[in-house]
Amino acid sequence: MPLQNESFLQACRGERPAQTPIWLMRQAGRYMPEYRAIRSRVSFNELCRSPELCAEVTLQPVDFLGVDAAILFSDILVVFDALGIDVRFEPSPVLSAPVRTEAEAKALRWGDPHETLGYVFDAVRACKRALADRVPLIGFCGAPFTTLSYLVEGQTSREFERIKGMIFAAPAVFAGLMERMTTLLCEYLRGQVLAGVDALQIFDSWAGALAPADYRAHVLPHLARLVDFTRGLGVPTILFARGNANLLAQVAELPADVLGIDWSIDLDQAIRVTGPERVVQGNLDPMVLLGTPALVESKARDIVAAGRAAKAHIFNLGHGISRHTDPAIARLLVEVVHAASASSTTSA
Ligand code: 1CP
């Protein structure tokens, strides 16, 4: 069945649909009362393991906001099920067994994600059924470095002392873990595509923890292997590295179909780095949505205009939406982006 709304996938392919497509990182979540109503009944872990509830939550922003793509409701940290490690959300994540020493790294049991993460693939199928081809479904994973940072730190980190300590004091241990993690993530994404996702996003949310030279030496080769692998899966890949706009030139060396741009750089400047032949996604500072409707409208229009210098542009936030956002303002953003881009296409 063809999709009723192809604009997101057209932009991923480098075409320019009639309106700039838009979806919002973390578009399903605590800022929506419908999400909070479900979370008052079930824990986050139960929610992620219930394909029917995942589908319900995945569709909430599609119905309310009118976005052009859905993103699977899950979390980058569920992959630790493949290692037999539990994650508690208290509410920020805490791992049952962080891995900090060479002995702990050697003792890890790397399970097969096709067996251990079947509930995610069931959720993909439930989302596809519920969406009934209205909009495409995006699957995702954390990038190897971001995922490994949780494994080593064991929780959210500010300074990344443990993982950076491992890079600089035990680089072979770090490299071995990155190698295994990358292979796990390749298979995990393959499973999502086999279950039916239409696109993939790789989140390197903590990329900015590293100096550019260290990112290039210790992270980029593994990320390159993951991106190369996803190119063989037959769906477009979005690569989003966050936290240091100086890294954009490095991630732009990788053949991802779409480059995610965080909010720390103006979009026109980012496009000068990526070049006009790349497709970009982003990059409104999510906190702008805490401002007035007039401010949201003017900043959204500026980004739509700047996006015209790229081969194609998918509007998004420059990081996840804040839980303090008024859903009505998020909906206004979607309307403004659609209206502003439709009028600029006709005048082109
Ligand atoms: O209800 C709750 O209390 C749970 C809050 C929550 C939600 C709604 C968590 C815990 N995860 C999610 C969903 C989620 N996480 C999605 C699907 C929903 C959607 O996008 O619509 C996705 C794609 C993620 C991705 C994710 N999880 C990232 C990468 C994106 C980013 O924001 O940089 C990261 C770093 C995580 C880890 C995580 N999971 C949850 C929290 C609170 C965190 C971040 C903690 C931290 O800052 O370290």
Interval 76-134: pLDDT, tens:
999 999 999 999 999 999 999 999 999 999 999 999 999 999 999 999 999 999 999 99
Q: Walk along the chain (348 residues) and give the pLDDT tens digit of each residue.
A: 789 999 999 999 999 999 999 999 999 999 999 999 999 999 999 999 999 999 999 999 999 999 999 999 999 999 999 999 999 999 999 999 999 999 999 999 999 999 999 999 999 999 999 999 999 999 999 999 999 999 999 999 999 999 999 999 999 999 999 999 999 999 999 999 999 999 999 999 999 999 999 999 999 999 999 999 999 999 999 999 999 999 999 999 999 999 999 999 999 999 999 999 999 999 999 999 999 999 999 999 999 999 999 999 999 999 999 999 999 999 999 999 999 999 755 444
Residue 28 CA: which ligand 1 atom is closest?
21
Residue 146 CA: which ligand 1 atom is closest?
35
Do the Cβ atoms of 150 and 95 come closer than 8 Å? Answer: yes
Q: Whose CA is nearest to atom 22 of ligand 1?
A: 75
Q: Is 266 a catalytic residue?
A: no
- Confirm or reject: Cβ of 320 under 6 Å from ligand 1: yes
- Confirm or reject: Cβ of 120 under 6 Å from ligand 1: no
Q: Is 30 a catalytic residue?
A: yes
Residue 308 CB partners (closer than 8 Å, separation 6+) = 344, 348
Do the Cβ atoms of 188 and 117 come closer than 8 Å? Answer: yes
Q: Is 278 a catalytic residue?
A: no
Calculate how far, in angstroms, residue 81's C-alpha sits from the geometric centre of ligand 1.
Answer: 16
Residue 58 CA: which ligand 1 atom is closest?
21
* pLDDT tens, residue by residue, 48-67: 999 999 999 999 999 999 99
Q: Whose CA is nearest to atom 34 of ligand 1?
A: 76
The pLDDT assigned to 120 comes to 98
Residue 242 CA: which ligand 1 atom is closest?
33
Q: Is 39 a catalytic residue?
A: yes
HEC secondary structure over the chain: CCCCCCHHHHHHCCCCCCCCCECCCCCCCCCCHHHHHHHCCCCHHHHHCCHHHHHHHHHHHHHHHCCCCEECCCCHHHHHHHHCCCEEECCCEEECCCCCCHHHHHCCCCCCHHHHCHHHHHHHHHHHHHHCCCCCEEEEEECHHHHHHHHHHCECCCCCHHHHHHHHHCHHHHHHHHHHHHHHHHHHHHHHHHHCCCEEEEEECCHHHCCHHHHHHHCHHHHHHHHHHHHCCCCCEEEEECCCHHHHHHHCCCCCCEEECCCCCCHHHHHHHHCCCCEEEEEECHHHHHCCHHHHHHHHHHHHHHHCCCCEEEEEECCCCCCCCCHHHHHHHHHHHHHHHHHHHHHC
User: What pTM was estimated for this model as a whole?
Assistant: 0.97
Residue 265 CB partners (closer than 8 Å, separation 6+) = 245, 248, 273, 283
- Confirm or reject: Cβ of 77 under 6 Å from ligand 1: yes
The pLDDT assigned to 344 comes to 56
- Confirm or reject: Cβ of 156 under 6 Å from ligand 1: yes
